[in-house]
Amino acid sequence: MPQYSPPLRDMQFVMHEVLKVTDELKPIAKYADADAETMNAILEEGGKFASEVVLPLNISGDEEGCTLDPVTHAVTTPKGFKEAYKKYVEGGWPALSGDTDFGGQGLPLVVNQCFYEMLNSANQAWTMYPGLTHGAHAALHAHGTDEQKKTYLQKMTTGEWTGTMCLTEPHCGTDLGLMRTKAEPQPDGTYKITGNKIFISAGEHDMADNIIHLVLARITDAPPGIKGVSLFIVPKFMVKPDGTPGERNGIYCGGLEHKMGIHGNATAQIVIDGAIGTLVGQPNKGMQGMFVMMNAARLGVGNQSLGLTEVAYQNALAYAKDRIQMRSLSGVKAKDKPADPIIVHPDVRKMLLTAKAYAEGGRALAIYCAVLLDKEHYHPDEKVRKDSGEVLSLLTPIVKAFLTDNGHIATNACMQVFGGHGFIKEWGMEQFVRDNRINMIYEGTNTIQSLDLLGRKVLGNNGATLKKFGKIIGALIAEEGVNEKMAEFINPLAVLAEQMTKFTTELGFKGFQNPDEVGAAAVDYLRVAGHLVFGYFWARMAQVALREIAAGNADPFYLAKLQTARFYFAKLFPETATLMRTARSGSKVLMDTDAALA
Ligand SMILES: Cc1cc2nc3c(=O)[nH]c(=O)nc-3n(C[C@H](O)[C@H](O)[C@H](O)COP(=O)(O)OP(=O)(O)OC[C@H]3O[C@@H](n4cnc5c(N)ncnc54)[C@H](O)[C@@H]3O)c2cc1C
């Protein structure tokens, strides 16, 4: 079974030494007393929950999968999932960062972010059951009526009930404007909803007393396309006046998908057969509410890959120290052994460091985003709220796509470290690769994320938000530009920041003349932007490490950080040159290919 040791030291480094999250959050009244010790202590316990309760169910959940009773439509989750969920609820874990008005503990979101990274390392399939509830909760919190909040939020905060997002239909995934599910208004103000949804994660299960589906549907006579889509709450069980689950609603699981990974999570075909739903927000403005959930889910999906990258790295590192094969090119290293451990080989180190650099860079970015999310909602200064929201919206597609693509690279590299033993099931490495693969697809494919970034978030506002983040990078460059010791990090970052401005203007100009140019460049563009962001965080992490080392701190953690930063800038960051070149090669070589694709 794979091993997992919660990366608490690195989380603490990012939170308290690099980003100084308690200082950042201090102006927010409800976080004025949030202190590092409490956050660390909670995460220490959270790490135990992830590694002792959830991790042991990862391989068995993958092997067993979920089963559907075709008569009752009940779904049984793998052995142990339900009991682990009960412990999760009893331990108060769902409520960590929940609103105190609804029974939450009111801790900063960053605590939940780090806790969920650990859960994802331990078992992505299990974590998706409670994970989706947070996004559904956020959408209802932002757009629900008082009555809806009163009925659902308390139970969703405590985890007694879970949530889903029901968007996809057989003929529409990316293009939700094609949606057919219908909502007929009823005299009592509710809606009768009918349609078929597919691929609904955690769509049916035996872990909670009720499932609160957030369903997109089209009200009778709604305009065609995305402008006619509305959002509804459709509970599995109707809620009685006393707040307990009542009659069964007409929404059930018609089938379970057989799939490549996340076998322990029920990917349900959902039949909606005249179910009763209530409208969330305004008619035909369903995407506004759903976007709250989608944005939360996009950050959540990036976090899934971050978790998998970390756990894959830890196991590959341990294996590489233990497995002996061949001798080092530069002479025997383990004289007492018939061969050297494979960690002596440069390419094995490259694979390990790739995963480590992507995990630690991703962690810094994800924690930064969790702080932005809190600032966007609760900071007393309106300008800080606005700026935080804008930067977060720029970074969201990067978190979703860059972290999940990196997860793909990293879990594959870590599997490769095991040679043939990575490909067979015994070590659990191939499961990380399989489980990660969906992260690049759902919640808007990574191509769609790249179009969102380049088309909407960057060119859509003439690069204004990108410039805002550019200023943040510029401040670090100005601060460290004369520090020789930081030159190996600051110089490449400064070069890319400058190139990015020109690169963006160029793509904007070409895209204005021919929109296919944006589509042809977007995926490469997002990866360049991802490295710009990672470069910034790696430079900040190197800055702290250098200061500690200069001050005589002998903790090997700082040297390790510095070496990883050097590796990142030397071996991964330069990919940006190729990416800009391929992006600049334009759309013609793609679009003038009818003969090639005939
Ligand atoms: C295991 C699993 C769990 C899921 N969980 C959920 C869930 O909980 N709730 C839910 O609602 N959905 C869920 N989904 C659905 C998922 O979000 C969709 O599969 C995904 O958004 C892609 O939609 P699609 O499969 O219809 O592909 P399509 O939309 O048909 O896309 C096919 C390909 O075309 C590309 N493409 C499409 N349009 C464009 C464009 N304009 N420009 C460039 N490329 C384009 C896509 O990137 C993709 O590569 C899940 C799917 C799976 C497999």
Question: Residue 216: pLDDT band by 50, 70, 90 thresholds?
Answer: very high
State the distance from the centre of ligand 1 to the C-alpha of 439, rounded, in angstroms.
Answer: 11
The best mutation among 204, 445, 456, 517 to test binding of ligand 1, ranked by most ligand atoms within 8 Å of the C-beta, falls on 445
Handedness of CA 437, 442, 443, 448 (dihedral sign): positive
CA 465-470-476 angle, 5° bins = 145
Ligand 1 neighbours by CB, cut-off 6 Å? 165-168, 173-174, 199-201, 259, 267, 438, 441-445, 447-448, 451, 519
The ligand 1 atom at the shortest distance from the C-alpha of residue 257 is 1
The ligand 1 atom at the shortest distance from the C-alpha of residue 446 is 47
Question: Residue 26: pLDDT band by 50, 70, 90 thresholds?
Answer: very high
CB 354 within 8 Å of CB 410: yes
Comparing CA positions, the residue from 84, 119, 309, 124 lying closest to residue 208 is 84
The angle, 0 to 180 degrees and rounded to 10, between the axes of the packed helices 346-378 and 382-417 is 160
Measured distance CA(553)–CA(587) in Å, rounded: 52
Fill in the amino acid letter for 34. Answer: A
- Catalytic residues, by residue number, are 443
CB 203 within 8 Å of CB 125: no
Is the pLDDT at 195 greater than 90? The verdict is yes
Share of the chain above pLDDT 90, in %: 98
State the distance from the centre of ligand 1 to the C-alpha of 2, rounded, in angstroms.
Answer: 30
> What element of type H or E holds 217?
strand 210-219
The best mutation among 168, 232, 437 to test binding of ligand 1, ranked by most ligand atoms within 8 Å of the C-beta, falls on 168
Residue 29 DSSP code: G
Is the pLDDT at 463 greater than 90? The verdict is yes
The best mutation among 62, 215, 442 to test binding of ligand 1, ranked by most ligand atoms within 8 Å of the C-beta, falls on 442
Section 463-474 average pLDDT? 96
Q: How many residues does the chain have?
A: 598
Nearest residue by C-alpha to atom 22 in ligand 1: 173
How much is the pLDDT for 184?
Answer: 98
The ligand 1 atom at the shortest distance from the C-alpha of residue 166 is 11
Round the average pLDDT of the chain to a whole number and report it: 97
Q: Which residues contact 468 (CB under 8 A, 6 or more apart)?
A: 387, 390, 391, 394
Q: Which residues contact 210 (CB under 8 A, 6 or more apart)?
A: 155, 160, 161, 162, 235, 236, 237, 239, 245
349, burial (CB in 10 Å: exposed 0-12, middle 13-18, buried 19+): middle
Section 181-207 average pLDDT? 98
Nearest residue by C-alpha to atom 20 in ligand 1: 442
State the distance from the centre of ligand 1 to the C-alpha of 173, rounded, in angstroms.
Answer: 4
How much is the pLDDT for 594?
Answer: 98
Nearest residue by C-alpha to atom 29 in ligand 1: 174
The two structure tokens encoding residue 30: 């409800």
State the distance from the centre of ligand 1 to the C-alpha of 438, rounded, in angstroms.
Answer: 10
Residue 77 DSSP code: P
Q: How do residues 155-165 score in pLDDT, each as one tens digit?
A: 999 999 999 99
581, burial (CB in 10 Å: exposed 0-12, middle 13-18, buried 19+): exposed
Q: How many CB atoms lie within 10 A of CB 560?
A: 14
424, burial (CB in 10 Å: exposed 0-12, middle 13-18, buried 19+): exposed
State the distance from the centre of ligand 1 to the C-alpha of 130, rounded, in angstroms.
Answer: 22
- Residue in the structure block whose two tokens are 């994970």: 131
Q: How do residues 248-286 score in pLDDT, each as one tens digit?
A: 999 999 999 999 999 999 999 999 999 999 999 999 999
Helix, strand, coil abundance in the chain, percent, nearest 5? 65, 10, 25
The best mutation among 129, 174, 253, 256 to test binding of ligand 1, ranked by most ligand atoms within 8 Å of the C-beta, falls on 174
Q: How many CB atoms lie within 10 A of CB 308?
A: 30
Nearest residue by C-alpha to atom 40 in ligand 1: 448
The ligand 1 atom at the shortest distance from the C-alpha of residue 262 is 1
Share of the chain above pLDDT 70, in %: 100
Nearest residue by C-alpha to atom 51 in ligand 1: 199
Section 7-24 average pLDDT? 98
How much is the pLDDT for 595?
Answer: 98
State the distance from the centre of ligand 1 to the C-alpha of 259, rounded, in angstroms.
Answer: 14
How much is the pLDDT for 99?
Answer: 93
The ligand 1 atom at the shortest distance from the C-alpha of residue 445 is 47
Nearest residue by C-alpha to atom 32 in ligand 1: 174
How much is the pLDDT for 33?
Answer: 85
Section 531-541 average pLDDT? 98
Is the pLDDT at 1 greater than 90? The verdict is no
β-partners of residue 213 are 164, 234
State the distance from the centre of ligand 1 to the C-alpha of 368, rounded, in angstroms.
Answer: 28
The ligand 1 atom at the shortest distance from the C-alpha of residue 132 is 8
The ligand 1 atom at the shortest distance from the C-alpha of residue 444 is 21
Is the pLDDT at 516 greater than 90? The verdict is yes
Q: How do residues 317-339 score in pLDDT, each as one tens digit?
A: 999 999 999 999 999 999 999 99
State the distance from the centre of ligand 1 to the C-alpha of 442, rounded, in angstroms.
Answer: 6
> What element of type H or E holds 396?
helix 382-417
* Range in 5-9, 44-48, 287-291, 354-358 the model is least confident about: 287-291
Q: Which residues contact 335 (CB under 8 A, 6 or more apart)?
A: none
The best mutation among 441, 518, 525, 587 to test binding of ligand 1, ranked by most ligand atoms within 8 Å of the C-beta, falls on 441
Is the pLDDT at 464 greater than 90? The verdict is yes
Measured distance CA(56)–CA(123) in Å, rounded: 9
State the distance from the centre of ligand 1 to the C-alpha of 444, rounded, in angstroms.
Answer: 6
Nearest residue by C-alpha to atom 27 in ligand 1: 173
β-partners of residue 193 are 183, 275
Q: How many CB atoms lie within 10 A of CB 514?
A: 14
Which phi and psi angles does 160 have, rounded to 5°?
-65, -35
Fill in the amino acid letter for 362. Answer: G
Q: How do residues 344-399 score in pLDDT, each as one tens digit?
A: 999 999 999 999 999 999 999 999 999 999 999 999 999 999 999 999 999 999 99
Measured distance CA(124)–CA(261) in Å, rounded: 10
The two structure tokens encoding residue 493: 């970052």
Q: How do residues 423-439 score in pLDDT, each as one tens digit?
A: 999 999 999 999 999 99
